[in-house]
Amino acid sequence: MKITRELKTGVFVVVVIALSIWGYNYLKGINLFDGKINTYFTEYNNVQGLNTSSVVTINGVDVGKVVDISFNKDPEKRGQLIVEFSILEDFQFSKNSVAKIYSASLMGGKSLAIVPSYEGENAKPGDYLKGEIESDIFSTVTEKLNPLQAKVENVIVKADSLMGNLNDIIDVKTRLNIKQSIAQLNATLTNFHAASNNLKSLVSDNKIKLDKTIDNAEKMTSNFKKLSDTLVNSNLGVTVKNLQATVTNLNQVLGKINSGQGSLGKLLKDDKLYGNLTNASKELEELLRDMKLHPKRYVHFSLFGKKDKGYKPAVE
């Protein structure tokens, strides 16, 4: 049987159409040779770079692909994204399972993993699963750095404000005063250094004298210690007691004198006796003066035994 050109052309066109349909579905994640597949849906606010034909896995095994990503047409969910993905019919899981977007590699490729749950009613084709996004290392670092970046920016703003205020406070006059203070401080340090050198030189020049002075001080301390030990070992307590007794007796005597007891007390306290003593003293003084002026009245002396003629008062 001869095959005509028209038949060949028709077969070629059918094959091309079939390959096109298969390729289109394969790019959408549907492999016509894999058997029957089921499609499910999930929602995200951000798909983190997930795209059609991304791999869908369960426990690390490829079980399907992402078929389509489109915006939700519901006005109440405007901006949310609906992800449609296909899974081979052999895998069964409940509606409580989670569809999680994760990083398939460090290069940033995203995949969709089904975290299966076997509790509850089994999921049916067309059901919506709960969508989650797994934080990768870069997003984690970014989450940690964002608060730190905000704090650093805040610190920089405050530092800039502080420097501005400082520039406003430190005017030309203040800067000049600061320079003068620094210059005076340098001069003070220089003088202190010079005084330190002079003190060092003084100590060095008088080292022998200082050593002798220290030795003498040590000797004095030793002698004082010996004297202290001597006083402690002596009957210093007995001496102090005797001294206290003497003072007590003296106080008693002085008390008696003040109260007029005894001869000395009567002398001090008896005015009549004092007057008599004063008069007797005056009379004794007059007697002595008269004896000095007229000794012959009181003393009779004869070398040859001449008879005393007696006392005759002088005629004045």
> Which of 169, 69, 154, 170 is CA-nearest to residue 110?
69
Per-residue pLDDT of the chain (316 residues; tens, 9 = 90+): 566 777 778 777 777 887 777 666 655 555 544 556 788 999 999 888 888 888 889 888 888 889 898 998 888 888 899 999 988 877 788 889 999 998 876 666 788 999 998 888 888 888 999 989 887 555 555 556 667 777 888 888 888 888 777 777 776 777 788 888 898 888 899 888 888 888 888 888 888 888 888 888 888 888 878 777 776 666 666 777 888 888 888 888 777 777 777 666 666 666 777 777 788 888 888 888 887 887 777 665 555 555 555 545 554 4
Which own/partner contact pairs does 76-83 have at CB distance under 8 Å and 24+ positions apart?
A: 77/43, 79/45, 80/43, 80/44, 80/45, 81/43, 81/44, 81/45, 81/46, 81/47, 82/41, 82/42, 82/43, 83/41, 83/42, 83/43, 83/44, 83/47, 83/50, 83/112, 83/131
Q: What pLDDT score does 246 carry?
A: 87
Q: Which residues face 113 on adjacent strands? A: 57, 100
Q: What angle do CA 289, 295, 298 make, to 5 degrees?
A: 105
Q: What pLDDT score does 32 carry?
A: 47
Contact 260, 266 (CB under 8 A): yes
Q: What pLDDT score does 18 carry?
A: 75
- Output the six-digit token pair for 90: 């052999």
Which own/partner contact pairs does 72-79 have at CB distance under 8 Å and 24+ positions apart?
A: 72/43, 77/43, 79/45
Question: Which phi and psi angles does 99 have, rounded to 5°?
Answer: -100, 110
Q: CA-to-CA distance for 128 and 126, rounded, in angstroms? A: 7
Dump the DSSP string for 140-205.
HHHHHHHHHHHHHHHHHHHHHHHHHHHHHHS-HHHHHHHHHHHHHHHHHHHHHHHHHHHHHHHHHH
CATH class entry, domain 36-134: mainly beta
Q: What pLDDT score does 2 carry?
A: 60
- Output the six-digit token pair for 21: 């349909």
The structure's pTM equals 0.38
Q: Where are the alpha helices (DSSP H) in the chain?
A: 5-27, 137-169, 172-205, 207-233, 236-258, 262-269, 271-293
Q: Where are the domains of the chain?
A: 36-134, 136-164, 170-221, 235-293
Q: CA-to-CA distance for 93 and 120, rounded, in angstroms? A: 9
Q: What pLDDT score does 84 carry?
A: 92
Q: CA-to-CA distance for 229 and 236, rounded, in angstroms? A: 11
CA atoms within 13 A on the CB side of 237: 2
Q: What angle do CA 25, 30, 31 make, to 5 degrees?
A: 95
